[in-house]
Amino acid sequence: MEQQAKQMPKTFDFKEAEGRLYAMWEREGWFKPEIAPKDAEPFVISMPPPNVTGALHLGHALFVSLEDLMTRYERMRGKAALWVPGTDHAGIATQLQVEKMLHDEGTSREQVGREEFLARTWLWKEKYGGRIEDQLRRMGASCDWDRERFTLDDGLSNAVQEVFITLYNQGLIYRGPRLVNWSPGLRTAVSDLEVEREEEPGKLYYFNYPLEGGGSIPVSTTRPETILGDTAVAVHPDDPRYQDLIGKFALVPVLNRRIPVIGDEYVDREFGTGALKVTPGHDFNDYEIGQRHNLPLINIMNKDATLNQNAGIYAGMDRFEAREKLWNDMAALGLTVKIEDINHAVPRSQRGGEIVEPMISTQWFLKIQPLADKALAAVRAGSIRIVPERFEKVYYHWLENIEDWCISRQLWWGHRIPVWYGSDGEVYVGKLPPKDRPGYTWTPEEDVLDTWFSSGLWPFSTLGWPEQTPDLRRFYPTDVMETGYDILFFWVARMIMMGLWFTDQPPFHTVYLHGLVRDKFGRKISKTLGNVIDPLDLVDQYGADPLRMTLLTGSTPGNDVNLDTSRVERNWRFVNKIWQMTNFVTQNLGDEPLESGFPAPADLDLPARWITSRLNKLVASVERLFESYQYGEAGRQIDDFLWTEFADWYIEISKYPLYQGDAQAKANTRRVLIGVLDTCLRLLHPFMPFVTEELWSFLPNRTGKPLIAASWPDGDSRYEDDAAEADMQMLIDLVRGIRNVRDEYQVEPSRKITALIVPGSSPKLFAAYEYLFARLCNVGTINLLADESSAPQQAASVSVGDVTAYLPLADFVDVSAECDRLSKERAKLTEQISRVEKQLGNEQFVARARPDVVEKERTRLAGLKASAEQIDSRIAGLCGDKT
């Protein structure tokens, strides 16, 4: 029976292996939930769909790392793991890209027309739509591509229509002219969420509003052109300065339109002049005032933000041009007072960046309150949990103050609203127009739905809803929604609302929110800053595993990640390190077949008892950390265990039994080496799937299955052994002490030295494990001494607890140097001892601290005191009256 199936290459050729392994996983169907037993509990994540024409950025790399980790972990735990991938049509973003392409071709969307434009967009989607998917594959995403969805697929479009029609029939969707945020460049309405307010330098214009019959009221504005749409001047009703004017009339400058002076408590007497021009057609506050006072609405703008005929002589001018012209004309009339430089918040479109204009427009709205109430209740009741918890507060606040959602967009790329207008103005809501009557035609609604409307259905629409498909029955509700906190409102809240409304179930039980990926200085990544990090460059350079490991170990839930690419390089070295460990283990498997699993605890030597005990604690710890979503800490612990404990200590120690032990010792050691490695590759697989899968293929593998399908390790408490850990720790400390002394005295590393050891209370330990010292700190000969009386003078000494090693380094050590060194050591101990003694001398501590904490301190004190005693007697013997 051959143990070594394949010869390992010297290093991991990730460029060759990643594609091959991914293809193998996909081809063999391991990404599909059907590989689990029929009765397996499902675990489902809906992938946040990237924009269909987008390219992979670090945010995607982070979500793939996290979601793939969760999926692979649950798959290994035996669940029917399903990660549903897909892409989003991303209405505005995609349309803008295609419009830009048309512009470059010297044409425009208007010129080619709606039908042609959509055809071109679909072509664009076909061309670039596959790109992001391939990039997700390169990151190792173990999603079920057979279940991939696109938001404009027939099935999903059907779900969207179904939802719209249902909500309409429930009286929750209405259409009407309202003041909305209008994006003049995109020529569409956008929702409140799509408007970003940035504090910018601007100007506050002061002028006198002329009153009918003479006199004036001083007012100020940041947008003088809106004067043309004023329908009132408002003052505070209790303001003695202006009170008397309420009920009189003012005249709109230049236009000379007659408007009332009204009193409204909204006016802040302290701000500006204490009087306010009211433009209900172009300002949200003024709109409210207008509603209260039945003021007329005047829209002075066209869809591209040029002024319309209501602006009189300014009609046809751009809004900013008109602003200047009007102001100059007012100056000529002697109405202007001054212009003040101020900083104020300017509303800009999230997409185009242009200034958004509040404008009256006929749009479709969703009455959101009933849905929001359910969404609030679900989180409050704990049926949905948000990680980290602090975002629950943010979520509540948003939903408690939510306004109706403007769901229509004047775009072409998207789900067309399923509404038809009869030739007599009749409105019909349905997927298809009613049957034609003679002489009567139905015109379809031009508008499409906000992209987020379809995204809100994602967890169930991707599984087949509204059809009661087998997938929907088996995999809905999903489990975890993992996404960025920046789309908590845009997406997460809306999925919860829609999910609860249409399926009566929360669409997922946990929301895990990650942060933004920034550069190593914490700056936002942007083209203008020139700090763009392309994840694919990093994947090309180091492979996907190091990038994943870096993102996972560098992030905590809800916090931004500052990506330092030197960490990616370090994790690439970690990949090499575990490669080399595996190389060592597989080279030393021997020719005899080995039993699988670990030998019984009783058959293990001390180092093996130590490493298996440590391994079991690691497994338990990783499990606990995973349960609380602390993936980063889990990854670091596995890394630390493998590199520091397994490689630096156990592998080095194992060489003795492997090379010099008897057959039994060899076999046991081999089984421990393989066992630890096997377990750690499993633990590490969700973090670094490629290299672990590749390494797995070199281990003696009795199942023939790839690692992706291996079971998640269970702890085995029989291997927990605190005594072994303590003994081993003592030996490790002693080895370190000896190395330290060698280094301090600059003994050449190749020079073998002799150690004389007073083994204190552990004579058996040294009898059995003195070989460690030869291997780990190049001690050629060890003699055990009964006590310190026979210790040589010309020697350095190292004490750990009641054990002391004497190193007779005649050429290197002079007595006074050694005495200096020892007294420094002693001083350190004195300090530590006094601290612990003080602690233990405190009755309150002993009485109130947890017993195990007190016990730990006592043990520590005993150890420190024993070391101190050893050093004291050494100093007494060696240094005489020197100290």
Partner RNA sequence: GGGCGUAUAGCUCAAUUGGCAGAGCGCGGUCCUUACAAGACCGAUGUUAUAGGUUCAAGUCCUAUUACGCCCACCA
**Per CB under 7 A, which of residues 247..306 are in contact with RNA?**
266-277, 283-285
Binders in 337-356 for RNA, by CB under 7 A = 344-345
In angstroms, what is the minimal distance from the CB of 865 to RNA?
A: 14
In angstroms, what is the minimal distance from the CB of 762 to RNA?
A: 18
Binding residue (CB under 7 A) for RNA from 15, 103, 473, 520: 520
Helix, coil or strand: residue 48: coil
Binders in 483-512 for RNA, by CB under 7 A = 486, 489
Q: Closer to RNA at the Cβ: 165 or 346?
A: 346
In angstroms, what is the minimal distance from the CB of 319 to RNA?
A: 14
In angstroms, what is the minimal distance from the CB of 514 to RNA?
A: 11
Q: By CB under 7 A, is residue 751 in contact with RNA?
A: no
In angstroms, what is the minimal distance from the CB of 18 to RNA?
A: 14
Binders in 35-74 for RNA, by CB under 7 A = none
Q: Closer to RNA at the Cβ: 79 or 282?
A: 282
State the residue for tokens 């002993």. Answer: 846
State the residue for tokens 């701000």. Answer: 271
In angstroms, what is the minimal distance from the CB of 346 to RNA?
A: 9
Which stretch in 127-135, 432-440, 743-751, 752-760 sits in contact with RNA by CB under 7 A?
Answer: 743-751
Q: Closer to RNA at the Cβ: 44 or 622?
A: 622
Q: Closer to RNA at the Cβ: 134 or 270?
A: 270
Q: Closer to RNA at the Cβ: 374 or 636?
A: 636
Long-range contacts of 66-69 (CB under 8 A, 24+ apart): 66/482, 66/512, 66/514, 66/551, 66/552, 66/555, 66/631, 67/141, 67/480, 67/482, 68/139, 68/140, 68/141, 68/142, 68/143, 68/548, 68/686, 68/689, 69/548, 69/552, 69/631, 69/686, 69/687
Which stretch in 439-447, 459-467, 553-561, 755-763 sits in contact with RNA by CB under 7 A?
Answer: 553-561
Which stretch in 32-40, 108-116, 131-139, 650-658 sits in contact with RNA by CB under 7 A?
Answer: 650-658
CA distance 445 to 114: 13
Binders in 71-110 for RNA, by CB under 7 A = none
In angstroms, what is the minimal distance from the CB of 347 to RNA?
A: 9
Which stretch in 557-565, 682-690, 702-710, 818-826 sits in contact with RNA by CB under 7 A?
Answer: 557-565
**Per-residue binding letters, 402-441, with RNA (x by CB under 7 A):** ----------------------------------------
Specify whether the CB–CB gap between 64 and 70 falls below 8 A.
no
Q: By CB under 7 A, is residue 771 in contact with RNA?
A: no
Q: Closer to RNA at the Cβ: 169 or 834?
A: 834
Closest C-alpha among 634, 629, 637, 517 to residue 565: 517
CA distance 512 to 70: 11
- Encoded tokens for 10: 């010297």
Q: Closer to RNA at the Cβ: 39 or 627?
A: 627
Would you give the DSSP letter of residue 504?
S
Backbone angles phi, psi at 806, to 5 degrees: -105, 130
Nearest 10 degrees: Cα torsion 664, 665, 667, 669: 160
- Encoded tokens for 589: 């498997």
In angstroms, what is the minimal distance from the CB of 487 to RNA?
A: 10
- Which residues, including other chains, have CB under 8 Å from residue 730's CB and lie 6 or more apart? 762, 765, 800, 801, 803
Q: Closer to RNA at the Cβ: 473 or 524?
A: 524
Q: What value does the CA radius of gyration of the chain take, rounded to a whole number of Å? A: 37
Binding residue (CB under 7 A) for RNA from 441, 711, 740, 883: 740
CA distance 657 to 213: 109
One-letter identity of residue 352: G
| Angle ∠(717,723,724) on CA atoms, nearest 5 | 80
**Per-residue binding letters, 213-232, with RNA (x by CB under 7 A):** ------xxxxx---------
78 burial (CB, 10 Å; 0-12 / 13-18 / 19+) is: middle
Binding residue (CB under 7 A) for RNA from 103, 390, 473, 882: 390
Which stretch in 386-394, 423-431, 596-604, 697-705 sits in contact with RNA by CB under 7 A?
Answer: 386-394
Q: Give rounded-to-5 percent helix, strand, coil for the chain.
A: 50, 20, 35
Binding residue (CB under 7 A) for RNA from 2, 748, 786, 789: 748
Q: By CB under 7 A, is residue 754 in contact with RNA?
A: no
Which string of DSSP letters, residue by residue, matches 203-266?
EEEEEEEEBTTS-EEEEEES-GGGGGG--EEEE-TT-TTTGGGTT-EEE-TTT--EEEEEE-TT
Q: By CB under 7 A, is residue 131 in contact with RNA?
A: no
Report the 3 state secondary structure along 656-716. HHHHHCCHHHHHHHHHHHHHHHHHHHHHHCCCCHHHHHHHHCCCCCCCCCCHHHCCCCCCC
- Encoded tokens for 215: 């006199």
State the CB neighbour count (10 A cutoff) for residue 49.
Answer: 24
Q: Which element (helix H / strand E) includes 178?
A: strand 173-183
- Encoded tokens for 525: 């990544």
Binders in 196-215 for RNA, by CB under 7 A = 196-197, 204
Q: By CB under 7 A, is residue 789 in contact with RNA?
A: no
In angstroms, what is the minimal distance from the CB of 85 to RNA?
A: 27
Binding residue (CB under 7 A) for RNA from 107, 166, 621, 823: 621
Binding residue (CB under 7 A) for RNA from 412, 491, 508, 572: 572
Q: Closer to RNA at the Cβ: 254 or 651?
A: 651
β-pairing, 561-562 with 517-518? parallel
Q: By CB under 7 A, is residue 764 in contact with RNA?
A: no
Helices (H), 543-564: 544-553
Q: By CB under 7 A, is residue 556 in contact with RNA?
A: yes
In angstroms, what is the minimal distance from the CB of 742 to RNA?
A: 7
In angstroms, what is the minimal distance from the CB of 784 to RNA?
A: 23
Closest C-alpha among 149, 153, 53 to residue 95: 53
Closest C-alpha among 482, 672, 616 to residue 59: 482
Q: By CB under 7 A, is residue 15 in contact with RNA?
A: no
Binding residue (CB under 7 A) for RNA from 632, 675, 689, 706: 632
In angstroms, what is the minimal distance from the CB of 205 to RNA?
A: 9
Binders in 580-599 for RNA, by CB under 7 A = 580-581, 583-584, 587
In angstroms, what is the minimal distance from the CB of 825 to RNA?
A: 11
Q: Helix 494-503 to helix 154-169 angle, to the nearest 10 degrees?
A: 80
Q: By CB under 7 A, is residue 7 in contact with RNA?
A: no
In angstroms, what is the minimal distance from the CB of 274 to RNA?
A: 5
Q: Closer to RNA at the Cβ: 276 or 805?
A: 276
Backbone angles phi, psi at 804, to 5 degrees: -135, 135
Q: Closer to RNA at the Cβ: 461 or 797?
A: 797
Q: Closer to RNA at the Cβ: 294 or 746?
A: 746
In angstroms, what is the minimal distance from the CB of 279 to RNA?
A: 9
In angstroms, what is the minimal distance from the CB of 859 to RNA?
A: 9
CA distance 49 to 665: 54
In angstroms, what is the minimal distance from the CB of 220 to RNA?
A: 5
- Would residue 274 be called left, alpha or beta, if left means φ above 0 and alpha means ψ between -120 and 50 degrees? left
* Residues 262-299: b if buried by 16+ CB within 10 A, e if exposed: bbbeebeeeebbbbbbbbbbbbebbbebbeebebebbb
Binders in 316-335 for RNA, by CB under 7 A = none
Number of residues counted as binding RNA (CB under 7 A): 97
CA distance 506 to 499: 6
Binding residue (CB under 7 A) for RNA from 324, 842, 877, 880: 842
Q: By CB under 7 A, is residue 826 in contact with RNA?
A: no
